[in-house]
Amino acid sequence: DAGVIQSPRHEVTEMGQEVTLRCKPISGHDYLFWYRQTMMRGLELLIYFNNNVPIDDSGMPEDRFSAKMPNASFSTLKIQPSEPRDSAVYFCASRQGYQETQYFGPGTRLLVL
Amino acid sequence: KQEVTQIPAALSVPEGENLVLNCSFTDSAIYNLQWFRQDPGKGLTSLLLIQSSQREQTSGRLNASLDKSSGRSTLYIAASQPGDSATYLCAVRNSGGSNYKLTFGKGTLLTVNP
Cβ-in-10-Å burial (0-12, 13-18, 19+) of A107 comes to buried
For residue B32, pLDDT beyond 70: yes
A9-60 pLDDT, tens per residue?
Answer: 999 999 999 999 999 999 999 999 999 999 999 999 999 999 999 999 989 9
Nearest chain A residue to B90 by CA: give it. A43
Residue among A45, A103, A106 whose CB faces B102 most closely: A45
Cβ-in-10-Å burial (0-12, 13-18, 19+) of A81 comes to middle
Q: Which residue, among B48, B35, B42, has the nearest Cα to B88 in the 3D structure?
A: B35
How many other β-carbons are positioned within 10 Å of the β-carbon of residue B80?
Answer: 21
State the pLDDT confidence band at B96, using cuts at 50, 70 and 90.
confident
State the pLDDT confidence band at B98, using cuts at 50, 70 and 90.
low
* Contact across the interface for B44 and A91, Cβ inside 8 Å: yes
Nearest chain A residue to B31 by CA: give it. A100
Q: Which residues in chain B are contacts of A45 at CB distance < 8 A?
A: 101-103
Nearest chain A residue to B89 by CA: give it. A43
For residue A112, pLDDT beyond 90: yes
* Contact across the interface for A42 and B107, Cβ inside 8 Å: yes
State the pLDDT confidence band at B62, using cuts at 50, 70 and 90.
very high
Query: Given CB atoms, is A30 within the 8 Å cutoff of chain B?
Result: no
State the pLDDT confidence band at A1, using cuts at 50, 70 and 90.
low
Question: B26-56 burial, b if ≥16 CB within 10 A, otherwise e?
Answer: eebebbbbbbbbbeeeebbebbbbbebeeee
